[in-house]
Amino acid sequence: MEEERLVFLSTSSHGDGVRHQIEKVLEQRSKSFNAILRQVPSIGDAVKLLTDGVGDVVAMSPENWLEHQADHLKIIGLLTRREPTWVLVSDDKPEYLIKNANIVCHHPLIKRQMLRLRQDFNLLDKEHVGLNEFDADSREEIEFLENLRGEGKIDGYVAKRSQYNLLTTKTRRHTLGLHKGSPERSHFVPPPLNGFTLLVGRTGFPKNKIEHIIDSPAEFAYRIESALVSNVPDDLVDFTGIHVEQRSIGTILREAKGNNDDWTMTAVIDPEKKVRDKGVRIEMRIETISVDGKVTASAEQIGPPDKHRVAMVNLLQEWSSMLTTLTSDHNATKRRIRNMPDAFHDERPAMMRIHSDESE
Protein backbone atom coordinates (compact mmCIF):
# COMPACT_ATOMS: atom_id res chain seq x y z
CA MET A 1 0.00 0.00 0.00
CA GLU A 2 1.39 3.39 -1.02
CA GLU A 3 2.31 5.70 1.83
CA GLU A 4 0.04 8.70 2.24
CA ARG A 5 1.54 11.93 0.93
CA LEU A 6 1.49 14.79 3.41
CA VAL A 7 0.81 18.29 2.15
CA PHE A 8 2.83 21.08 3.83
CA LEU A 9 1.73 24.67 3.34
CA SER A 10 3.92 27.77 3.50
CA THR A 11 4.05 31.32 2.22
CA SER A 12 6.86 32.79 0.16
CA SER A 13 9.98 33.97 2.02
CA HIS A 14 9.21 36.91 4.31
CA GLY A 15 12.52 37.29 6.08
CA ASP A 16 11.52 35.14 9.07
CA GLY A 17 13.41 32.08 7.80
CA VAL A 18 10.39 29.75 7.93
CA ARG A 19 9.95 29.10 4.20
CA HIS A 20 13.64 28.49 3.57
CA GLN A 21 13.94 26.06 6.48
CA ILE A 22 10.88 23.92 5.76
CA GLU A 23 11.80 23.78 2.07
CA LYS A 24 15.33 22.65 2.92
CA VAL A 25 14.16 20.03 5.44
CA LEU A 26 11.65 18.46 3.03
CA GLU A 27 14.21 18.45 0.23
CA GLN A 28 16.76 16.68 2.41
CA ARG A 29 14.16 14.08 3.43
CA SER A 30 12.62 13.66 -0.02
CA LYS A 31 13.87 10.09 -0.48
CA SER A 32 12.47 8.81 2.81
CA PHE A 33 9.53 11.14 3.44
CA ASN A 34 6.49 11.31 1.16
CA ALA A 35 5.61 15.00 1.40
CA ILE A 36 5.01 17.98 -0.84
CA LEU A 37 5.33 21.70 -0.12
CA ARG A 38 2.75 24.07 -1.56
CA GLN A 39 3.01 27.83 -1.52
CA VAL A 40 0.02 29.97 -0.58
CA PRO A 41 -0.37 33.78 -0.64
CA SER A 42 -0.65 34.27 3.12
CA ILE A 43 -0.69 32.43 6.45
CA GLY A 44 -4.40 33.22 6.69
CA ASP A 45 -4.95 31.33 3.42
CA ALA A 46 -2.83 28.45 4.68
CA VAL A 47 -4.85 28.18 7.89
CA LYS A 48 -8.11 28.18 5.90
CA LEU A 49 -6.87 25.39 3.62
CA LEU A 50 -5.69 23.44 6.67
CA THR A 51 -9.08 23.88 8.34
CA ASP A 52 -10.82 22.70 5.16
CA GLY A 53 -8.64 19.60 5.00
CA VAL A 54 -6.79 20.62 1.84
CA GLY A 55 -3.40 20.61 3.61
CA ASP A 56 -1.95 18.68 6.55
CA VAL A 57 0.68 20.93 8.12
CA VAL A 58 1.38 24.67 8.03
CA ALA A 59 4.91 25.95 8.68
CA MET A 60 4.75 29.29 10.47
CA SER A 61 6.55 31.63 12.85
CA PRO A 62 5.57 32.21 16.51
CA GLU A 63 4.16 35.61 15.46
CA ASN A 64 1.93 33.87 12.91
CA TRP A 65 0.71 31.43 15.56
CA LEU A 66 -0.19 34.20 18.00
CA GLU A 67 -2.34 35.75 15.29
CA HIS A 68 -4.02 32.60 13.96
CA GLN A 69 -4.16 30.12 16.85
CA ALA A 70 -7.55 28.45 17.31
CA ASP A 71 -9.10 25.59 19.28
CA HIS A 72 -9.22 23.30 16.24
CA LEU A 73 -5.49 23.78 15.57
CA LYS A 74 -2.42 22.71 17.53
CA ILE A 75 1.36 22.91 17.36
CA ILE A 76 2.48 19.43 16.34
CA GLY A 77 6.18 20.13 16.74
CA LEU A 78 9.05 22.41 15.80
CA LEU A 79 11.96 22.19 13.41
CA THR A 80 15.49 22.60 14.77
CA ARG A 81 15.87 26.13 16.05
CA ARG A 82 17.67 28.54 13.76
CA GLU A 83 20.23 30.96 15.20
CA PRO A 84 18.02 33.47 17.08
CA THR A 85 20.53 36.31 17.30
CA TRP A 86 20.41 39.34 15.01
CA VAL A 87 23.28 40.74 12.95
CA LEU A 88 24.88 44.10 12.30
CA VAL A 89 25.72 44.62 8.63
CA SER A 90 28.71 46.97 8.54
CA ASP A 91 32.34 47.14 7.51
CA ASP A 92 33.53 46.43 11.03
CA LYS A 93 32.48 45.07 14.41
CA PRO A 94 30.31 47.49 16.42
CA GLU A 95 33.17 48.07 18.87
CA TYR A 96 35.36 49.45 16.08
CA LEU A 97 32.96 51.55 14.01
CA ILE A 98 33.66 55.27 13.61
CA LYS A 99 32.48 57.68 16.31
CA ASN A 100 28.80 58.69 16.03
CA ALA A 101 28.21 55.98 13.42
CA ASN A 102 24.76 56.12 11.76
CA ILE A 103 23.08 52.77 12.25
CA VAL A 104 19.51 51.83 11.28
CA CYS A 105 17.98 49.77 14.09
CA HIS A 106 14.23 49.54 14.58
CA HIS A 107 13.93 46.97 17.40
CA PRO A 108 13.53 48.69 20.80
CA LEU A 109 15.51 46.07 22.73
CA ILE A 110 18.46 45.94 20.34
CA LYS A 111 18.55 49.75 20.22
CA ARG A 112 19.15 49.78 23.96
CA GLN A 113 21.70 46.98 23.71
CA MET A 114 23.60 48.98 21.09
CA LEU A 115 23.56 52.05 23.37
CA ARG A 116 24.81 49.87 26.22
CA LEU A 117 27.75 48.98 24.00
CA ARG A 118 28.42 52.54 22.80
CA GLN A 119 26.61 55.70 23.84
CA ASP A 120 27.82 57.62 20.79
CA PHE A 121 25.91 55.57 18.20
CA ASN A 122 23.35 57.54 16.19
CA LEU A 123 20.52 55.01 15.96
CA LEU A 124 17.98 55.65 13.21
CA ASP A 125 14.40 54.41 12.94
CA LYS A 126 12.84 53.18 9.71
CA GLU A 127 11.07 56.46 9.05
CA HIS A 128 14.39 58.31 9.17
CA VAL A 129 15.55 56.53 6.01
CA GLY A 130 12.23 56.05 4.18
CA LEU A 131 11.67 52.37 4.98
CA ASN A 132 7.97 52.61 5.80
CA GLU A 133 6.96 51.82 2.22
CA PHE A 134 8.45 48.31 2.43
CA ASP A 135 7.07 45.22 4.17
CA ALA A 136 8.88 44.45 7.42
CA ASP A 137 11.72 41.91 7.12
CA SER A 138 11.31 41.73 3.33
CA ARG A 139 13.97 41.34 0.67
CA GLU A 140 13.09 44.79 -0.70
CA GLU A 141 13.64 46.36 2.71
CA ILE A 142 17.10 44.91 3.28
CA GLU A 143 18.21 45.56 -0.32
CA PHE A 144 17.23 49.22 0.19
CA LEU A 145 19.25 49.35 3.41
CA GLU A 146 22.25 47.78 1.72
CA ASN A 147 22.07 50.37 -1.06
CA LEU A 148 22.05 53.15 1.54
CA ARG A 149 25.12 51.63 3.18
CA GLY A 150 26.87 51.22 -0.16
CA GLU A 151 26.22 54.89 -0.93
CA GLY A 152 27.73 55.92 2.41
CA LYS A 153 24.45 57.38 3.73
CA ILE A 154 24.53 55.03 6.73
CA ASP A 155 27.36 53.11 8.38
CA GLY A 156 25.38 49.97 9.07
CA TYR A 157 22.04 48.42 9.90
CA VAL A 158 20.66 45.74 12.23
CA ALA A 159 18.54 42.90 10.84
CA LYS A 160 17.35 39.42 11.64
CA ARG A 161 19.79 36.80 10.43
CA SER A 162 17.06 35.26 8.29
CA GLN A 163 16.43 38.60 6.58
CA TYR A 164 20.15 39.07 5.99
CA ASN A 165 20.11 35.75 4.12
CA LEU A 166 17.73 37.30 1.56
CA LEU A 167 20.43 39.70 0.32
CA THR A 168 21.32 39.08 -3.32
CA THR A 169 24.97 39.97 -2.70
CA LYS A 170 26.38 38.89 0.64
CA THR A 171 28.40 41.44 2.57
CA ARG A 172 30.12 41.58 5.95
CA ARG A 173 27.92 40.96 8.93
CA HIS A 174 28.67 40.72 12.63
CA THR A 175 26.69 38.60 15.06
CA LEU A 176 25.01 40.46 17.90
CA GLY A 177 25.24 37.36 20.02
CA LEU A 178 25.48 36.11 23.56
CA HIS A 179 29.28 35.81 23.23
CA LYS A 180 29.38 33.27 26.04
CA GLY A 181 33.01 32.43 25.42
CA SER A 182 34.05 36.11 25.27
CA PRO A 183 32.85 37.83 28.47
CA GLU A 184 34.85 40.94 27.57
CA ARG A 185 32.47 41.61 24.64
CA SER A 186 29.04 43.17 25.07
CA HIS A 187 26.33 40.53 24.92
CA PHE A 188 22.98 40.65 23.15
CA VAL A 189 20.22 38.46 24.61
CA PRO A 190 17.87 38.22 21.61
CA PRO A 191 14.20 39.19 21.54
CA PRO A 192 12.13 36.20 22.70
CA LEU A 193 10.90 33.43 20.37
CA ASN A 194 13.28 34.24 17.51
CA GLY A 195 14.47 31.42 15.23
CA PHE A 196 11.57 29.01 15.73
CA THR A 197 9.64 27.29 12.92
CA LEU A 198 6.33 25.88 14.15
CA LEU A 199 4.55 23.00 12.43
CA VAL A 200 0.81 23.45 12.96
CA GLY A 201 -1.90 20.93 12.16
CA ARG A 202 -5.52 20.15 12.97
CA THR A 203 -6.26 18.91 16.47
CA GLY A 204 -5.89 15.14 16.43
CA PHE A 205 -3.17 15.03 13.78
CA PRO A 206 -0.81 12.15 14.74
CA LYS A 207 2.57 13.52 15.72
CA ASN A 208 4.36 10.31 14.74
CA LYS A 209 3.75 11.09 11.06
CA ILE A 210 6.35 13.88 11.19
CA GLU A 211 8.38 12.89 14.26
CA HIS A 212 11.54 12.34 12.19
CA ILE A 213 11.71 16.04 11.18
CA ILE A 214 10.79 17.67 14.49
CA ASP A 215 13.25 18.66 17.19
CA SER A 216 12.49 18.00 20.87
CA PRO A 217 15.03 20.49 22.32
CA ALA A 218 13.54 23.25 20.14
CA GLU A 219 10.04 22.35 21.30
CA PHE A 220 11.18 22.40 24.93
CA ALA A 221 12.91 25.78 24.53
CA TYR A 222 9.86 27.25 22.78
CA ARG A 223 7.56 26.12 25.56
CA ILE A 224 9.75 27.67 28.26
CA GLU A 225 10.35 30.94 26.39
CA SER A 226 6.61 31.27 25.73
CA ALA A 227 5.88 30.79 29.43
CA LEU A 228 8.52 33.35 30.40
CA VAL A 229 7.19 35.92 27.92
CA SER A 230 3.67 35.48 29.27
CA ASN A 231 4.98 36.51 32.72
CA VAL A 232 6.61 39.72 31.48
CA PRO A 233 4.36 42.81 31.79
CA ASP A 234 3.11 44.03 28.41
CA ASP A 235 4.89 47.38 28.72
CA LEU A 236 8.25 45.62 29.20
CA VAL A 237 8.12 42.96 26.47
CA ASP A 238 9.65 45.18 23.76
CA PHE A 239 12.65 45.98 25.98
CA THR A 240 13.24 42.49 27.35
CA GLY A 241 15.50 39.81 25.91
CA ILE A 242 14.87 36.14 26.68
CA HIS A 243 16.83 33.11 25.58
CA VAL A 244 16.42 29.45 26.54
CA GLU A 245 18.79 26.76 25.30
CA GLN A 246 19.55 23.13 26.01
CA ARG A 247 23.31 22.65 26.36
CA SER A 248 25.71 19.84 27.19
CA ILE A 249 27.36 19.90 30.58
CA GLY A 250 30.80 19.68 28.94
CA THR A 251 30.24 22.88 26.94
CA ILE A 252 29.04 24.75 30.03
CA LEU A 253 32.06 23.62 32.07
CA ARG A 254 34.55 24.59 29.35
CA GLU A 255 33.04 28.06 29.09
CA ALA A 256 32.91 28.52 32.86
CA LYS A 257 36.53 27.48 33.22
CA GLY A 258 37.64 29.78 30.40
CA ASN A 259 35.69 32.71 31.87
CA ASN A 260 36.79 32.03 35.48
CA ASP A 261 33.10 31.66 36.34
CA ASP A 262 33.29 30.25 39.87
CA TRP A 263 29.52 30.52 40.39
CA THR A 264 28.74 28.16 37.51
CA MET A 265 31.57 25.80 38.43
CA THR A 266 30.25 25.53 41.98
CA ALA A 267 26.69 24.99 40.78
CA VAL A 268 27.70 22.16 38.44
CA ILE A 269 30.51 20.41 40.36
CA ASP A 270 30.13 19.01 43.88
CA PRO A 271 32.76 19.27 46.69
CA GLU A 272 34.26 15.96 45.52
CA LYS A 273 35.00 17.50 42.10
CA LYS A 274 32.32 15.39 40.41
CA VAL A 275 29.62 16.68 38.08
CA ARG A 276 26.21 16.97 39.73
CA ASP A 277 23.61 15.09 37.65
CA LYS A 278 25.36 14.34 34.38
CA GLY A 279 23.50 15.10 31.18
CA VAL A 280 22.18 18.20 29.48
CA ARG A 281 21.25 21.46 31.19
CA ILE A 282 18.65 24.07 30.43
CA GLU A 283 20.11 27.56 30.36
CA MET A 284 17.72 30.49 30.77
CA ARG A 285 18.54 34.18 30.44
CA ILE A 286 16.44 37.31 30.75
CA GLU A 287 17.37 40.99 30.69
CA THR A 288 15.59 44.34 30.57
CA ILE A 289 17.51 47.51 29.68
CA SER A 290 16.95 51.13 30.60
CA VAL A 291 15.95 53.70 28.00
CA ASP A 292 19.51 55.10 27.85
CA GLY A 293 21.17 51.68 27.76
CA LYS A 294 23.15 52.37 30.93
CA VAL A 295 21.37 50.04 33.38
CA THR A 296 20.44 46.38 32.94
CA ALA A 297 18.29 44.14 35.12
CA SER A 298 19.20 40.55 34.29
CA ALA A 299 19.03 37.04 35.66
CA GLU A 300 20.26 33.62 34.62
CA GLN A 301 19.47 30.06 35.66
CA ILE A 302 21.11 26.76 34.70
CA GLY A 303 19.62 23.44 35.73
CA PRO A 304 18.52 19.95 34.66
CA PRO A 305 15.47 19.70 32.36
CA ASP A 306 13.33 17.96 34.98
CA LYS A 307 13.68 20.99 37.28
CA HIS A 308 12.95 23.64 34.66
CA ARG A 309 9.76 24.85 36.39
CA VAL A 310 11.65 25.66 39.58
CA ALA A 311 14.36 27.36 37.52
CA MET A 312 11.71 29.44 35.71
CA VAL A 313 10.17 30.61 38.98
CA ASN A 314 13.59 31.49 40.44
CA LEU A 315 14.60 33.31 37.26
CA LEU A 316 11.47 35.46 37.18
CA GLN A 317 11.64 36.21 40.91
CA GLU A 318 15.28 37.29 40.72
CA TRP A 319 14.68 39.43 37.62
CA SER A 320 11.52 41.01 39.03
CA SER A 321 13.17 41.78 42.37
CA MET A 322 16.14 43.40 40.67
CA LEU A 323 13.87 45.40 38.37
CA THR A 324 11.84 46.67 41.33
CA THR A 325 14.96 47.72 43.19
CA LEU A 326 16.50 49.52 40.22
CA THR A 327 13.31 51.38 39.25
CA SER A 328 12.41 52.49 42.78
CA ASP A 329 13.43 55.80 44.34
CA HIS A 330 15.96 55.58 47.15
CA ASN A 331 14.45 57.21 50.23
CA ALA A 332 16.60 59.04 52.73
CA THR A 333 17.35 57.06 55.86
CA LYS A 334 18.24 58.26 59.34
CA ARG A 335 19.81 54.97 60.35
CA ARG A 336 23.52 55.10 59.60
CA ILE A 337 25.09 51.99 58.12
CA ARG A 338 28.68 51.40 59.15
CA ASN A 339 31.40 51.95 56.53
CA MET A 340 28.90 53.39 54.01
CA PRO A 341 29.53 56.92 52.68
CA ASP A 342 27.20 59.73 53.81
CA ALA A 343 25.73 60.01 50.30
CA PHE A 344 24.31 56.50 50.65
CA HIS A 345 21.82 57.75 53.22
CA ASP A 346 20.56 60.64 51.08
CA GLU A 347 17.41 60.61 48.98
CA ARG A 348 18.10 59.72 45.32
CA PRO A 349 16.00 59.04 42.22
CA ALA A 350 15.70 55.54 40.76
CA MET A 351 18.78 54.23 38.99
CA MET A 352 16.81 52.90 36.03
CA ARG A 353 14.27 54.50 33.70
CA ILE A 354 12.53 52.05 31.37
CA HIS A 355 10.24 54.42 29.48
CA SER A 356 11.25 57.69 27.83
CA ASP A 357 8.22 59.56 29.21
CA GLU A 358 9.20 58.94 32.84
CA SER A 359 10.27 61.99 34.81
CA GLU A 360 13.98 62.65 34.96
DSSP secondary structure letter of residue 87: E
pTM: 0.90
- pLDDT single digits (tens) 215-253: 999 999 999 999 999 999 999 999 999 999 998 888 888
Mean pLDDT of the region 116-120: 97
Name, of 10-19, 109-118, 133-142, 345-354, the range with top average pLDDT.
109-118
User: What is the C-alpha to C-alpha distance for residues 259 and 163, in angstroms, rounded to an integer?
Assistant: 32
- pLDDT single digits (tens) 311-348: 999 999 999 999 999 999 877 777 777 777 777 667 78
Q: Are 224 and 282 in contact (CB under 8 A)?
A: yes
- pLDDT single digits (tens) 31-86: 888 999 999 999 999 999 999 999 999 999 999 999 999 999 999 999 999 999 99
For the chain, domain boundaries: 6-79+196-214, 86-176, 215-360
Taking alpha carbons only, the member of 57, 20, 21, 12 closest to residue 36 is 57
Q: How confident is the model at residue 119 (pLDDT cuts 50, 70, 90)?
A: very high
∠ Cα 186 187 193 (to 5°): 155
What is the amino acid identity at position 155?
D
User: What is the C-alpha to C-alpha distance for residues 330 and 351, in angstroms, rounded to an integer?
Assistant: 9
pLDDT (0 to 100) of residue 1: 44
- pLDDT single digits (tens) 269-290: 877 777 777 788 999 999 999 9
pLDDT (0 to 100) of residue 360: 41
In CATH, the number for domain 6-79+196-214 is 3.40.190.10
Question: Whole-number mean pLDDT of the chain?
Answer: 91
In CATH, the number for domain 86-176 is 3.40.190.10
Do the domains spanning 6-79+196-214 and 86-176 agree at the CATH topology level?
Answer: yes
Q: Name the architecture of domain 215-360.
A: 2-Layer Sandwich (3.30)
- Give 147: exposed, middle or buried? Use CB within 10 Å, 0-12, 13-18, 19+: exposed
